[in-house]
């Protein structure tokens, strides 16, 4: 029985390319990975937004209306709904003049119970160090 921790580090901006979207969809796919693993084995994902990647977390994205694609905001809410840990780099938010008020902090309206954690980069670095594998998007 083993749990492998995988850190999904998102540093890319949304929409122009699908990179950050694929980070979210792959992280969320951890919910069904057990079907390939032995009993008791599982993957523990942690999602961390750093650098320009913090802009994926902005509220009020209208991508579904404009581009016809699920917004990154909705994907982040889905991740929170599924109890995936979502970390956002505090220094990078501050660099853009943003705060918790500007980003997706919870998914209460769809039944999510956990909230986004705004943390210093040092904490994200610790999560990377304690992960078995890094997936940098």
Query: Which residues contact another protein by CB under 8 A?
Result: 2, 4, 6, 9, 11-12, 17-19, 22-23, 25-26, 29-33, 35-37, 41, 43, 45, 50-52, 121, 125, 128-129, 131, 133-137
Tokens of 109: 């309206």
CA dihedral 93, 96, 100, 104 (to 10 degrees): -90
Closest approach of another protein to the CB of residue 96, in Å: 13
Closest approach of another protein to the CB of residue 81, in Å: 17
Q: Which CB sits closer to another protein, 23 or 86?
A: 23
Closest approach of another protein to the CB of residue 59, in Å: 24
Q: Please tell me the distance from the alpha carbon of residue 59 to that of residue 66, in angstroms, as a whole number.
A: 15
Rg (CA), the chain: 15
Q: Which residues pair with 118 in a beta bridge?
A: 88
Q: Which CB sits closer to another protein, 38 or 109?
A: 38
Closest approach of another protein to the CB of residue 73, in Å: 20
Helix, strand, coil % (nearest 5) of the chain? 45, 20, 35
């Amino acid at each position: 029985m083993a749990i492998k921790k995988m850190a999904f580090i998102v540093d890319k901006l949304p929409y122009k390319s699908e990179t950050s979207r694929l980070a979210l969809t792959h992280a969320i796919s951890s919910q069904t990975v057990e079907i390939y693993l032995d009993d008791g084995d599982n993957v523990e994902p942690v999602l961390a937004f750093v650098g320009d990647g913090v802009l994926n977390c902005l509220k009020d994205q209208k991508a579904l209306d404009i581009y016809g694609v699920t917004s990154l905001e909705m994907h982040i809410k889905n991740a929170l709904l599924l109890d995936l840990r979502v970390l956002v780099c505090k220094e990078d938010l501050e660099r853009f003049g943003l705060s918790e008020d500007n980003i997706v902090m919870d998914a209460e309206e769809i039944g999510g119970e956990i909230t986004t954690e705004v943390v210093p980069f040092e904490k994200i670095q610790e999560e990377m160090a304690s992960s078995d594998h890094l997936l940098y998007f």
